[in-house]
Amino acid sequence: MAELPFDSVDTLQAVLQDHAYLADRGLTTAIYLSLSLGKPLLLEGEAGVGKTEVAKVLSTLLHRDLIRLQCYEGIDASQALYEWNYSRQLIAVRAMDAADAEQHVDDLFGEDFLVERPLLAAIRAGDRAVLLVDELDRADDEFEAFLLEILSEFAVTIPEVGRMVAETPPAVIVTSNRTRELHDALKRRCLYHWIDHPDLAREVAIVRARAPHVGERLATEVAAAVERLRTLDLAKAPGVAETIDWANALVFLGAEHLTLDLAADTLGTVVKDHEDQQLVGRKLAEVVGDLDG
C-alpha cells in the first residue's frame, strides 16, 4: 500500500482543511480508516452534502488519478468494466490478407483493441488512483452484485486476455443518495458514514473556504436562510453546494447582505424545483425574516 501523507486523524483533518474541505471528526476518522485499512468507504446522505467531493479532494491531496464511475439506471458490466473496440477490429480485418486473417484472428482480441472503462482502469492503476463509484443507488440490484464481486478482489478475468488483478487496490469511495436501500452484502464490504447537513457555524466556514470572496456577514445570512429552508417540506432540500452557489450569485450582483428582494430574485440558485419555489415564495419573509437588515 502506498504511504499516506498523514499519520493520524488530526493530521488528515488539517490536510483536508488545507484543501478547503471541512470534514467533521466522524467523517475524517472514516476516511482515515478507509485509506489505512484499504477498505472502500460508503458515504450516504442527502444530495449536495459533499460526498462526491471527498473523492475529488483525496485524489488531489494523495496525488492520484480520480477515476469516476457514474451510476445510472440500466448501467451494466460492459459499460463499467471493458468492451472491445469493434470499429478498430473491423479496420484491422479489412487490412489483413485473406490468407492471414484466420492466422491472426486471435490478435483482434488483444489489449490493443481493449477499451477500458472505469473499473478496469482502476484495477490497472491500483494505488495510483482513487475510484469514485458515484450514486450507486441509481443502479439496479444486478449491477450492485457485480460491483461487490469486483470490490472483493479487484480482479477481473477477460477470456481473450487473461486475469488482471490490482497488486494494491485503489482508494474507493462509494456514494449513495439513498433513493433505494443498498444491500447488506455491499455494506459489509465497506466502511460506512452518513454525511448530514452541517450546522450553521460549519456551513459558514465551508462557504468562506470555498468562496473566500464572500464576506462573513453575507455568508452567515445565506447559511442561516438555507438552514431555515431545510425545515420546510421541500421535495429537494438545498445542500451545501446550493448554499455556495447562492452566496456566489449574491456577490456577483454586488450584495453585501441578504435582503428579501435579493432572495426573491436569486431563488433559482438555491431552490431548484418549481413546486418548492412556490412554497418558498409564500414563506420567503419567514425564511429571510430578521436577516433582512
Q: What value does the mean pLDDT take over residues 40-47?
A: 94
What does R_g of the chain's alpha carbons equal in angstroms? Answer: 24
CB-CB contact of 88 with 109 (8 Å): no
pLDDT tens per residue across span 122-153: 998 999 999 999 999 999 999 999 898 888 88
* Phi/psi at 67 (5° precision): -110, 115
Mean pLDDT (the chain, rounded): 88
pLDDT tens-place string over residues 167-201: 899 999 999 999 899 999 999 999 999 999 999 99
Spatial CA neighbour of 207 closest among 66, 50, 14, 57? 50
Check residues 249 and 77 and name the one with the higher pLDDT. Answer: 249
- pTM for this model (two decimals): 0.85
Three-class SS state of 63: coil
Nearest to 142 by CA among 81, 78, 187, 76: 76
Q: What is the mean pLDDT of residues 191-220?
A: 95
pLDDT at 217 over 90: yes
Which pLDDT score, from 0 to 100, does residue 98 have?
53
Higher confidence at residue 158 or residue 126? 126
Cα 195 to Cα 108: distance, rounded to the nearest angstrom: 47
Name the one residue in this structure whose C-alpha cell is 467531493: 53
